[in-house]
């Protein structure tokens, strides 16, 4: 006869395996434009929007990825958090249900229900985490393009490292040249 620990381990194994798996998901923002923006009342020429697409947008996508967890990291965190709470809630809930009903409450029953709810919640958490990361990256990209148009600059990790090392960033200077800030927003020239 197997010990309660062994039974619990065998029942919990599928949930542990699920924690290491990434459930495929579709990024609903793929191919969706974050929009085009400008400051002021005068519609800029087409070249302005072309530069926004070619220079500012890739910069902002990189900024968004730098400042948010990756879909894989979010998926793993959500999987762990949801699987853990699913296990605890499922085990405690089944023990309470069976106890209230007057049925025998056994360790395999409690552990089995815990694993069942852990797997269900973990799988849902995996997809929810990846979707949350997709949403954050899209929102940060959109915000960055809007802010850049108003003269507020978002700095990627690489640009920050360049500035801290050399006092400048050629990549950020390209973004500024492609979409200069309105005159009232411009800082005085550097000496």
pLDDT at 123: 87
Q: What is the pLDDT of residue 66?
A: 95
Count other C-beta atoms under 10 Å from residue 110's C-beta: 21
What pLDDT, on the 0 to 100 scale, is given for residue 4?
58
Quick one: CA torsion of 70, 18, 80, 105, rounded to 10 degrees?
170
Rounded average pLDDT per 10-residue block, the chain, 191 residues? 56 55 82 90 88 94 95 91 89 82 83 87 90 95 92 92 95 87 60 63
**Angle at 38 (CA atoms; ends 32, 43), nearest 5 degrees:** 110
Using alpha carbons, select from 71, 46, 39, 36 the residue that is nearest to residue 141. 36
- The residue whose two tokens read 């056994």 is 106
Domain ranges of the chain: 44-180
Task: Compute the mean pLDDT over every residue in the chain, rounded to the nearest whole number.
Answer: 84
Q: Which stretches does DSSP call E strand in the chain?
A: none
132, 75 in Cβ contact below 8 A? Answer: no
Q: Are 60 and 148 in contact (CB under 8 A)?
A: yes
**Which SS3 state, helix, strand or coil, does residue 168 take?**
coil
User: Are the C-beta atoms of residues 54 and 155 closer than 8 Å to each other?
Assistant: no
């Amino acid at each position: 006869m197997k010990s309660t620990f062994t039974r619990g381990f065998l029942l919990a194994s599928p949930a542990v395996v699920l924690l290491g798996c990434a459930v495929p998901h579709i990024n609903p923002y793929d191919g969706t434009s974050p929009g085009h923006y400008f400051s002021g009342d005068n519609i800029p020429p087409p070249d302005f929007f072309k530069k926004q697409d070619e220079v500012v947008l890739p910069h902002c996508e990189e900024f968004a990825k730098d400042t948010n967890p990756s879909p894989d990291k979010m998926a793993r965190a959500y999987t762990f958090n949801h699987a853990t709470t699913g296990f605890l809630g499922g085990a405690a809930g089944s023990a309470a249900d069976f106890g209230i009903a007057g049925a025998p409450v056994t360790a395999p029953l409690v552990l089995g229900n815990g694993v069942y709810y852990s797997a269900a919640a973990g799988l849902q958490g995996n997809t929810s985490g990846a979707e949350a990361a997709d949403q954050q990256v899209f929102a940060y990209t959109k915000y960055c393009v809007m802010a850049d148009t108003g003269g507020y600059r978002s700095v990627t990790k690489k640009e920050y490292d360049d500035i801290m090392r050399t006092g400048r960033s050629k990549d950020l200077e390209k973004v500024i040249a492609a979409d200069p800030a309105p005159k009232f927003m411009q800082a005085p020239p550097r000496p």
